Chains A and B, each alone.
Chain A
Amino acid sequence: MSELLSIRDLTVPLPATADRRYAVEGLSYDLAMNEILCIVGESGSGKSMTANAIMGLLPPNMRPERGEILFQGQDLLKLSEPALESMRGRQIGMIFQEPLSALNPLMTVGDQIEEVMLVHKVGDAAGRRARVLELLDFVGLPDPKSLRDAYPFRLSGGQRQRVVIAMALALEPALLIADEPTTALDVTTQAQILDLIRRVQRDKGMGVMFITHDFGVVADIADRVVVMEKGLIVEQGTVDQVLNRPQHPYTRRLIAAVPHGEGRQNQVAQGRPIIETRNLKKTYRSGGGLFSAPREVRALAGVSLQLHAGETLGIVGESGSGKSTLGRAIMKLMSVDSGQILFRGQDLVPLSPSQFRPMRRHIQMVFQDPFASLNPRQTIGRILTDGPVANGISHASAAAKARELLSMVGLAENAFDRYPHEFSGGQRQRVGIARALMLDPEVLVADESVSALDVSVQAQVLQLLKSLQERLNLAIIFITHDLRVAAQVCDRIGVMCQGELVEEGPSAQIFDNPTHPYTQKLIAAIPGRNWDPTTSLTERVDA
């Protein structure tokens, strides 16, 4: 195999204000023709930095300090901007993370693909237009003829990512760089895009550099793997070596934190449910006027479920499935069109906001975004005591309880007087959990509460939730898009699709014997399904 790309001792300093000196330091790795190299790491590991350095797209205040980027034997760092320009798109193609913003909203899809050929002066007008149709068809988009003249806003996220891939492939580059290309996509779309990238790579014999944080994706797609931590390479090797026989403790820790499909031991639900929904319906309406009908989106199409004390019910679905609407409806953060929400037998739906307010403390919520869920202008102490104070508890006893809970969620007691920006994402999520527990709730709704966290932090927060549940006998509704996480922490799982609860049952059953076709499709799309991280680690311990 000939080396397509060789990175040698690449070192890029960070601006002086950053918390570490180098974005990446002393990076060296190779990428051959016809192979897929995965760069894997958590946020802040510097994994995307090399991609930008190769493309010459680093921000202007970051210049490589030393090292070489040899592409087909030529050092890209020594090339002039025009020389790089003629190389970009022609010999090196790139795909990005956010398909929704990666396309120019005011230019048709066809024009944007054609532009690659136009600026590199390839072919004549008629030939380019024919090639656009060919590419749209090749990346699996329906009806290329009408799609060519469509504007990006008419396309779904997955379709837009296919357009970006078509653009990157237009001139059949030797190297394709994919920077987290499936992170923003739903799991079934992700599976399709991964398939597409694999097929393209095989068809064209390209070298692919694939940047990701997801070991499941690595297991599915990689030939070789580079693991990065804080700007350094900690381990590299073939996919089999790194995934099944990891050497470096950091890699081992990451792999240990990967959620896996082992369903947890189910408790048997007993007695009266603490919360129950009956035939909950909600339709969003927007627009409309004298002559046109409003646009309708069915978010909840008659959802019925039950939850018992001490039990975790997972609600799993893709974006637009209505899973978040369900959580918000139960919290009464939004109204429903019809149906009942019974809390200890009392219907919450007809209650007015002021009637429901005294009952709010029984049902609490842990939010998704650790950065948006805490008021940046309040101290942690204020954030925690606001709830009890609003419910008539004295400030002193609320403060005492806050300190107690801070240590329960694993934070230092002096956190009380500090502001949210002084904490990391994982720590903030602990504050969010403490806030929800301040009111001694019986039900906790966790809406994508670990989705924004890195995998190792995610595992810690899940562990915390589990231990708190056991101590406090909480009933938890755990809303997530990630079936692997759900299987790990939930007793039962409900799968939602287009506002309907299509299947519900014990986690192990959902995972091993799904009956509904949609659930089957969802399970089949989970990345890294054929790789079991637990065996690789136990093997190592045994050896």
Chain B
Amino acid sequence: MPEGDGRNMKSLDFILRRLAKAFFVVIGVVILNFLLIQLAPGDPAAVMAGDAGAGDAEYLAQLRAQFGLDKPLPVQLWNYLSGVLTGDLGYSYRNQLPVLDLIMDRLPATLLLTGCALVFSLVFGILFGVIAAWRRGGVLDSTIMFGALLFYATPLFWTALMAVLLFSIKLGWLPPFDMETIGANLTGWARVKDIAWHLVLPVVTLGLFFTAIYTRLTRASMLEVMGQDFIKTARAKGVPKGRIIRRHALRNAFLPIFTFASLQAGQLVGGAVLTETVFAWPGIGRLMFDALLSRDYPVLLGVFLITAAMVVLVNLIADLLYRFVDPRIEQGA
């Protein structure tokens, strides 16, 4: 059918445009990293070596030769870009390991933490937001919104510390640090349970901040939808309030929440840096903090690039999914 073909073509156009955009954002971050190395006070080679490697004159000379640091800037940029695009994110002199290996080793822990926190915050945020909107102006609404304001205004790292103080130090309920019990050498189901146990505090701390955000967003979005004409139509049809909320309001309110959640992916990474620092969680956030302490710039820039690429990927997937959630956007097939 010609019309169907047209729609398919439109989808193809959209996907290609979106892929191109994602690609250019990643290239942009690489260029940004390159510029930062150039603009940093001091010798670019010293930055690329990190504090640990900067004392090693031989290593500095090797870096200068490898990246052509005596050549014109465009050549340097090209060397840097082609290096990164072939998977060379630099070398950590301090750890004596390629940066990419360091990051890949830590990535699963961060994905586990942020993934759980995202699910936690979406589930509770939407739940509380809907309840607040439903009970608008009531005690429940005020209580929920005060709680949301509180956790939105609390620095994430402080929530984490207070959680450790209360639940680990005072009450002794939950483990304060690490991802699993050191030296326990658990396997199978026991290890899963041990990790889950260690996961509780970090996920809840990171999740609460985002729960606060999604609660506020869901409430606002629900109230806006509830004021629209088609809700009145549904009421005029005799649809009960519970069904109006579930079938009409929430489905429409979900679209902006969905969009916003994908835009928040970057914030989640920022939160992970702080949470992992407090809980000594062996992810890339903690890696970043360690790199900060030792001024290990290649690791710092590598983590920055990888997290940016992850966010771009999440946004890309969300954009493609959106076309299936909202029928108003022309979709393929």
Contacts and interface: CB of A to CB of B under 8 A. Distances in A.
A337 B293 CA distance: 63
A86 B238 contact: yes
B237 A89 contact: yes
Interface in A127-155: 151, 153
Interface residues of A, number: 36
Contacts of B229: 96, 98, 101-102
A102 B238 contact: no
Contacts of B251: 104, 106-107
Interface string B98-137: 0000000000000000000000000000000000000000
A301 to B, nearest CB: 23
Interface in B280-327: 326-327
A85 B238 contact: yes
Nearest to A287: B10
Q: Kindly name the residue among A93, A289, A291 whose own CB sees the greatest number of chain B CB atoms within 10 A.
A: A291
B326 A164 contact: no
A208 to B, nearest CB: 15
A57 B239 contact: no
Interface in A173-208: none
A167 B233 contact: yes
A106 B326 contact: yes
A106 B16 CA distance: 26
Contacts of A119: 237-240, 243
B114 to A, nearest CB: 29
A153 B328 contact: yes
B9 interface: yes
B328 A88 contact: no
A325 B235 CA distance: 39
Contacts of A292: 6, 9-10, 12-13
Contacts of B327: 105-106, 151, 153
A151 B328 contact: yes
Interface string A89-109: 110011010100111111100
Given A151-B327, A153-B328, A292-B6, A104 B248 contact: yes
Contacts of B21: none
Contact of B235 (A88, A105, A287): A88
A87 interface: yes
B191 interface: no
Given A103-B230, A106-B252, A119-B243, A94 B236 contact: yes
Given A103-B230, A106-B252, A89 B236 contact: yes
B234 interface: yes
- Size range of the interface on B? 20 to 34
A105 B12 CA distance: 24
A105 B6 CA distance: 23
B9 A101 contact: no
B230 A102 contact: yes
B232 interface: yes
Contacts, number: 93
A167 B13 contact: no
Interface in A257-296: 287-293
B314 to A, nearest CB: 23
Contacts of B187: none
B285 to A, nearest CB: 37
A290 B13 contact: yes
Interface string B239-275: 1100100011001100000000000000000000000
B17 interface: yes
B328 A291 contact: no
A96 B234 contact: no
Given A107-B248, A292-B6, A57 B230 contact: no
Contact of B233 (A82, A90, A102): A102
A265 to B, nearest CB: 45
A102 to B, nearest CB: 5
B228 interface: yes
A507 to B, nearest CB: 37
A116 interface: yes
Contacts of B328: 105, 151, 153
B149 to A, nearest CB: 25
A87 B251 CA distance: 26
A101 B230 contact: yes
Given A153-B328, A292-B9, A103 B233 contact: yes
A120 interface: yes
A130 B13 CA distance: 39
Interface in B201-241: 228-230, 232-240
B13 A289 contact: yes
B267 to A, nearest CB: 27
B10 A167 contact: no
A539 to B, nearest CB: 41
Given A105-B252, A292-B13, A90 B230 contact: no
B13 A116 contact: no
Given A101-B229, A106-B252, A106-B326, A57 B236 contact: yes
Nearest to A98: B229
B233 A289 contact: no
Nearest to B229: A101
A87 B236 contact: no
Contacts of B247: 107, 115
A234 interface: no
Nearest to A150: B327
Interface string B184-207: 000000000000000000000000
A151 B230 CA distance: 14
Interface string A337-368: 00000000000000000000000000000000
A509 to B, nearest CB: 42
12 contacts: A55-B235, A94-B236, A98-B229, A106-B327, A115-B237, A115-B247, A116-B237, A116-B238, A119-B243, A168-B236, A289-B17, A291-B9
Interface of A: 55, 57, 82, 85-90, 93-94, 96, 98, 101-107, 115-116, 119-120, 151, 153, 164, 167-168, 287-293
Given A88-B237, A105-B252, A291-B13, 17 more contacts: A82-B240, A85-B239, A87-B238, A89-B237, A96-B236, A103-B230, A104-B233, A105-B230, A116-B238, A151-B328, A164-B233, A167-B233, A168-B236, A288-B13, A291-B12, A292-B6, A292-B12
5 A-B pairs with the lowest CB-CB distances in the bound complex, closest first: A289-B13, A89-B238, A88-B238, A101-B229, A89-B237
